[in-house]
């Protein structure tokens, strides 16, 4: 890994244990080197995919004559990402492309901030996450109706639900509602309120 890319984020290990981490890299490419740069980028993707924890990648140019190329790749946790980033394979690959590209920006993101990424951000540099208070508002807007609906249905459909120990009822609701929030409710609400989330 070269010095420019390492300087983009020096806090990867502090991002949080086993959370998936997404890396977004903006590279500047001379349009006259399109064919060579394309082959080089694909070689890097193929190398990364051979490492444990690799979850996928994508890259795109803004237009046919754009100097900016955006590469996005994801690992299952910071430790496995570090294994790839400090590997000899990656160092050799970066060395081979030293005349083809120039790194302009590197961003990393893990955990809850990933809920606030838009689909377009898989084809562009990762932007700054919304303020924490806005994230909290979005989560609250999603969690309140979902939790209320679950409680009403549980009371109505499960005999003696209120008599169960809170340890049990909270565990059941958490196990059921977490995937609902993660895969449906939060993505839906963030799409609806995205202009407000990212408004300065």
* pTM, 2 dp: 0.49
Q: How far is CA 103 from CA 4, 58, 110, in A?
A: 7, 17, 21
pLDDT for the residue 43: 92
Q: Is the pLDDT assigned to residue 2 strictly greater than 60?
A: no
Task: Name which of 111, 110, 109, 105 is nearest 125 in CA terms.
Answer: 105
Buried b (16+ CB within 10 A) or exposed e, 121-140: bbeebbeebbeeebbebbbe
Residue with the bigger pLDDT between 182 and 174: it is: 174
Q: Is the pLDDT assigned to residue 98 strictly greater than 80?
A: yes
Average pLDDT over residues 174-196: 83
For the chain, the domains span 3-122, 132-197
CATH 3.40.50.720 fits 3-122, yes or no: no
DSSP secondary structure code for residue 10 in this structure: S
Task: Kindly give, in sequence order, each residue whose CB lies less than 8 Å from that of residue 117, ignoring residues fewer than 6 positions away.
Answer: 22, 109, 126
Angle (CA) 153-154-156 rounded to 5° is: 65
pLDDT for the residue 7: 36
Q: What mean pLDDT is reported for the chain?
A: 77
For 14-72, what is each residue's pLDDT tens digit? 344 467 888 888 888 877 788 888 899 889 999 999 999 998 888 877 777 778 888 88
Q: How far is CA 147 from CA 177, 185, 200, in A?
A: 7, 11, 31
Starting at the edge strand found earlier in the chain, the sheet holding 54-61 runs: 54-61, 68-75, 21-29, 101-110
Confidence of residue 116 (pLDDT cuts 50, 70, 90): low
For 122-149, what is each residue's pLDDT tens digit? 434 444 567 778 888 888 898 999 999 9
């Amino acid at each position: 890994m070269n010095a420019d890319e390492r300087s983009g984020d020096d806090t990867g290990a502090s991002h949080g244990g086993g959370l998936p981490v997404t890396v977004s890299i903006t590279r500047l490419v001379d349009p006259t080197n399109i064919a060579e740069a394309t082959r080089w980028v694909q070689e890097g993707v193929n190398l990364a995919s051979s490492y444990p924890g690799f979850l996928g990648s994508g890259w795109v140019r803004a237009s046919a004559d754009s100097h900016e190329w955006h590469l996005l790749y994801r690992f299952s946790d910071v430790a496995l990402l570090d294994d790839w980033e400090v590997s000899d394979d990656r160092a050799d690959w970066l060395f081979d492309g030293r005349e083809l590209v120039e790194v302009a920006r590197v961003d990393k993101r893990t955990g809850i901030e990933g809920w606030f990424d838009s689909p377009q951000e898989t084809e562009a540099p990762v932007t700054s996450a919304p303020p924490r208070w806005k994230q909290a508002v979005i989560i609250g807007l999603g969690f309140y109706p979902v939790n209320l609906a679950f409680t009403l249905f549980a009371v109505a459909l499960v005999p003696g639900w209120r008599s169960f120990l809170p340890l049990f009822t909270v565990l059941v609701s958490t196990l059921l509602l977490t995937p609902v929030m993660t895969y449906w409710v939060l993505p839906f609400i963030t799409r609806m309120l995205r202009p407000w989330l990212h408004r300065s």
